[in-house]
Amino acid sequence: MANEQQFHHIIDEDLELCLLDEDDAQRYIRSSLGQFVENNGFQAGMWYRGTLAGIIGYQGVDWVNRSTALGYWVGASCQGKGLVTKACSALIDPAFREWRLNRVEIRCATGNDRSQAITERLGFTQEGTLRGAEWLYDHFADLAVYSVLAGEWRERGKEPLTPDQAVGAHSRAPLQADRRSEVWETPQAANPEAAHRAAAT
Protein backbone atom coordinates (compact mmCIF):
# COMPACT_ATOMS: atom_id res chain seq x y z
CA MET A 1 0.00 0.00 0.00
CA ALA A 2 1.38 3.40 -0.90
CA ASN A 3 2.18 5.76 1.96
CA GLU A 4 -0.49 8.26 0.91
CA GLN A 5 -3.16 5.59 1.31
CA GLN A 6 -2.23 4.75 4.89
CA PHE A 7 -3.76 6.31 8.00
CA HIS A 8 -1.93 9.46 9.03
CA HIS A 9 -3.36 12.16 11.29
CA ILE A 10 -1.48 15.24 12.48
CA ILE A 11 -2.80 16.45 15.84
CA ASP A 12 -0.39 19.34 16.35
CA GLU A 13 3.24 20.19 15.67
CA ASP A 14 4.39 17.72 18.31
CA LEU A 15 1.98 14.84 17.91
CA GLU A 16 0.79 12.72 15.03
CA LEU A 17 -0.84 9.36 14.65
CA CYS A 18 0.10 6.81 12.03
CA LEU A 19 0.09 3.08 11.59
CA LEU A 20 3.20 1.23 12.62
CA ASP A 21 4.87 -0.10 9.53
CA GLU A 22 6.73 -3.37 9.14
CA ASP A 23 10.06 -1.68 9.87
CA ASP A 24 8.74 -0.31 13.20
CA ALA A 25 7.52 -3.76 14.24
CA GLN A 26 10.76 -5.39 13.22
CA ARG A 27 12.83 -2.85 15.15
CA TYR A 28 10.78 -3.46 18.29
CA ILE A 29 11.04 -7.23 17.91
CA ARG A 30 14.79 -7.04 17.28
CA SER A 31 15.22 -4.84 20.34
CA SER A 32 13.22 -7.24 22.51
CA LEU A 33 15.11 -10.28 21.25
CA GLY A 34 18.39 -8.45 21.80
CA GLN A 35 17.38 -7.80 25.39
CA PHE A 36 16.72 -11.52 25.84
CA VAL A 37 19.96 -12.62 24.15
CA GLU A 38 21.93 -10.25 26.40
CA ASN A 39 20.33 -11.80 29.50
CA ASN A 40 18.78 -8.46 30.38
CA GLY A 41 15.15 -9.51 30.64
CA PHE A 42 12.65 -9.59 27.79
CA GLN A 43 9.29 -8.32 26.55
CA ALA A 44 6.39 -10.66 25.87
CA GLY A 45 2.98 -10.25 24.31
CA MET A 46 -0.06 -11.03 26.46
CA TRP A 47 -2.48 -12.93 24.25
CA TYR A 48 -6.07 -13.33 25.45
CA ARG A 49 -8.11 -15.97 23.63
CA GLY A 50 -5.87 -15.68 20.61
CA THR A 51 -5.82 -11.87 20.52
CA LEU A 52 -2.91 -9.66 21.54
CA ALA A 53 -4.12 -7.94 24.72
CA GLY A 54 -0.98 -6.16 25.83
CA ILE A 55 2.73 -6.28 26.60
CA ILE A 56 4.60 -7.25 29.76
CA GLY A 57 8.27 -7.64 30.47
CA TYR A 58 11.30 -7.25 32.68
CA GLN A 59 12.72 -3.75 32.39
CA GLY A 60 16.29 -4.95 32.56
CA VAL A 61 17.96 -7.17 35.17
CA ASP A 62 20.53 -5.96 37.69
CA TRP A 63 22.48 -9.20 38.17
CA VAL A 64 24.91 -7.65 40.66
CA ASN A 65 22.13 -6.64 43.06
CA ARG A 66 19.79 -9.41 41.87
CA SER A 67 16.83 -7.20 41.10
CA THR A 68 14.50 -6.35 38.23
CA ALA A 69 11.45 -4.24 37.48
CA LEU A 70 8.28 -5.21 35.65
CA GLY A 71 6.51 -3.04 33.12
CA TYR A 72 3.23 -3.73 31.37
CA TRP A 73 0.51 -2.33 29.18
CA VAL A 74 -2.92 -3.74 28.36
CA GLY A 75 -5.55 -2.57 25.89
CA ALA A 76 -8.72 -0.97 27.25
CA SER A 77 -10.94 -3.77 25.95
CA CYS A 78 -8.96 -6.33 27.99
CA GLN A 79 -8.75 -4.44 31.26
CA GLY A 80 -10.57 -5.69 34.34
CA LYS A 81 -10.06 -9.36 33.50
CA GLY A 82 -7.14 -10.01 35.83
CA LEU A 83 -4.75 -10.59 32.93
CA VAL A 84 -1.96 -8.34 34.20
CA THR A 85 -2.11 -9.77 37.72
CA LYS A 86 -1.78 -13.30 36.36
CA ALA A 87 0.97 -12.32 33.94
CA CYS A 88 2.95 -10.49 36.64
CA SER A 89 2.74 -13.49 38.95
CA ALA A 90 3.90 -15.74 36.11
CA LEU A 91 7.04 -13.60 35.69
CA ILE A 92 7.72 -12.93 39.36
CA ASP A 93 7.81 -16.60 40.32
CA PRO A 94 10.63 -17.68 37.96
CA ALA A 95 12.51 -14.44 38.67
CA PHE A 96 12.85 -15.59 42.27
CA ARG A 97 12.94 -19.36 41.89
CA GLU A 98 14.89 -19.82 38.66
CA TRP A 99 16.91 -16.62 38.29
CA ARG A 100 17.45 -16.35 42.06
CA LEU A 101 16.75 -12.63 42.15
CA ASN A 102 16.05 -10.93 45.46
CA ARG A 103 13.80 -8.04 44.46
CA VAL A 104 11.10 -7.26 41.89
CA GLU A 105 9.85 -3.70 41.52
CA ILE A 106 6.85 -2.09 39.85
CA ARG A 107 6.47 1.64 39.34
CA CYS A 108 3.20 3.25 38.34
CA ALA A 109 1.70 6.73 38.19
CA THR A 110 0.09 7.73 41.47
CA GLY A 111 -3.20 8.36 39.69
CA ASN A 112 -3.25 4.94 38.03
CA ASP A 113 -5.61 3.17 40.40
CA ARG A 114 -5.82 -0.02 38.32
CA SER A 115 -2.06 -0.50 38.28
CA GLN A 116 -1.75 0.24 41.98
CA ALA A 117 -4.47 -2.32 42.71
CA ILE A 118 -2.42 -4.93 40.82
CA THR A 119 0.58 -4.39 43.08
CA GLU A 120 -1.63 -4.68 46.16
CA ARG A 121 -3.18 -7.94 44.94
CA LEU A 122 0.32 -9.31 44.37
CA GLY A 123 1.37 -8.40 47.91
CA PHE A 124 3.88 -5.70 46.99
CA THR A 125 4.91 -3.05 49.54
CA GLN A 126 4.74 0.61 48.62
CA GLU A 127 8.14 2.12 49.36
CA GLY A 128 7.54 5.73 48.46
CA THR A 129 6.88 8.20 45.67
CA LEU A 130 9.22 9.60 43.03
CA ARG A 131 8.07 13.15 42.39
CA GLY A 132 7.75 14.30 38.78
CA ALA A 133 9.65 11.22 37.62
CA GLU A 134 7.94 10.48 34.30
CA TRP A 135 6.66 12.61 31.44
CA LEU A 136 3.15 11.27 30.88
CA TYR A 137 1.07 12.66 28.01
CA ASP A 138 1.38 16.38 28.79
CA HIS A 139 2.81 16.59 32.31
CA PHE A 140 5.34 15.13 34.72
CA ALA A 141 3.71 12.42 36.81
CA ASP A 142 4.65 11.19 40.26
CA LEU A 143 5.49 7.48 40.38
CA ALA A 144 4.59 5.18 43.25
CA VAL A 145 7.33 2.62 43.85
CA TYR A 146 6.32 -0.89 44.91
CA SER A 147 8.48 -3.94 45.52
CA VAL A 148 8.43 -7.52 46.77
CA LEU A 149 11.41 -9.51 48.02
CA ALA A 150 12.08 -13.17 47.44
CA GLY A 151 11.60 -14.07 51.09
CA GLU A 152 8.28 -12.22 51.21
CA TRP A 153 7.07 -14.00 48.10
CA ARG A 154 7.84 -17.37 49.68
CA GLU A 155 6.27 -16.41 53.02
CA ARG A 156 3.03 -15.44 51.34
CA GLY A 157 2.69 -19.00 50.11
CA LYS A 158 2.74 -18.32 46.39
CA GLU A 159 2.29 -21.50 44.40
CA PRO A 160 5.57 -23.13 43.33
CA LEU A 161 6.28 -23.97 39.73
CA THR A 162 4.69 -27.16 38.54
CA PRO A 163 7.04 -29.97 37.40
CA ASP A 164 5.97 -29.33 33.81
CA GLN A 165 6.92 -25.67 34.07
CA ALA A 166 10.23 -26.28 35.80
CA VAL A 167 11.44 -29.28 33.80
CA GLY A 168 14.74 -28.70 32.06
CA ALA A 169 14.98 -25.08 33.14
CA HIS A 170 18.59 -25.29 34.30
CA SER A 171 19.72 -26.83 31.03
CA ARG A 172 18.25 -24.16 28.78
CA ALA A 173 20.41 -21.69 26.95
CA PRO A 174 19.14 -18.17 26.11
CA LEU A 175 16.32 -18.11 23.55
CA GLN A 176 15.40 -21.72 24.30
CA ALA A 177 12.28 -20.86 26.28
CA ASP A 178 9.58 -23.47 26.68
CA ARG A 179 6.62 -21.93 24.90
CA ARG A 180 4.20 -23.84 27.13
CA SER A 181 5.43 -22.26 30.35
CA GLU A 182 6.50 -18.99 31.91
CA VAL A 183 10.01 -20.19 32.76
CA TRP A 184 13.05 -18.70 31.04
CA GLU A 185 16.52 -19.63 32.21
CA THR A 186 19.77 -17.75 31.75
CA PRO A 187 23.38 -18.68 32.48
CA GLN A 188 23.41 -16.02 35.20
CA ALA A 189 20.43 -17.60 36.89
CA ALA A 190 22.23 -20.90 37.27
CA ASN A 191 25.27 -19.22 38.81
CA PRO A 192 24.56 -15.84 40.47
CA GLU A 193 28.17 -15.47 41.61
CA ALA A 194 29.38 -15.77 38.01
CA ALA A 195 26.74 -13.29 37.00
CA HIS A 196 28.04 -10.81 39.56
CA ARG A 197 31.57 -11.14 38.21
CA ALA A 198 30.41 -10.78 34.62
CA ALA A 199 28.31 -7.72 35.36
CA ALA A 200 31.19 -6.10 37.21
CA THR A 201 33.64 -6.41 34.30
- The residues near 23 (Cβ < 8 Å, ≥ 6 apart) are none
SS3 72: strand
pLDDT digits (tens, 9 = 90+) for 157-187: 754 444 344 333 332 333 233 333 333 434 3
Angle at 187 between CA 185 and CA 192, to 5 degrees: 100
CA 188 to chain centre: 18
pTM of the model: 0.69
Q: For each of the chain's 201 residues, which pLDDT tens digit applies?
A: 444 456 666 646 654 545 556 677 788 788 888 888 899 998 888 888 888 888 899 999 999 999 999 999 898 898 998 899 999 998 999 999 999 999 999 999 999 999 999 999 999 999 999 999 999 989 999 999 999 999 999 998 754 444 344 333 332 333 233 333 333 434 344 444 443 443 343
Element (H, E) at 9: strand 8-10
- The residues near 34 (Cβ < 8 Å, ≥ 6 apart) are none
Return the pLDDT at 5: 54
Return the pLDDT at 9: 62
Q: With beta carbons less than 8 A apart as the criterion, state whether 180 and 164 touch.
A: yes
Domain 43-200 coded CATH 3.40.630.30: yes
**Per-residue b/e over 186-201, b at no fewer than 16 CB within 10 Å?**
bebbbebeebeeeeee
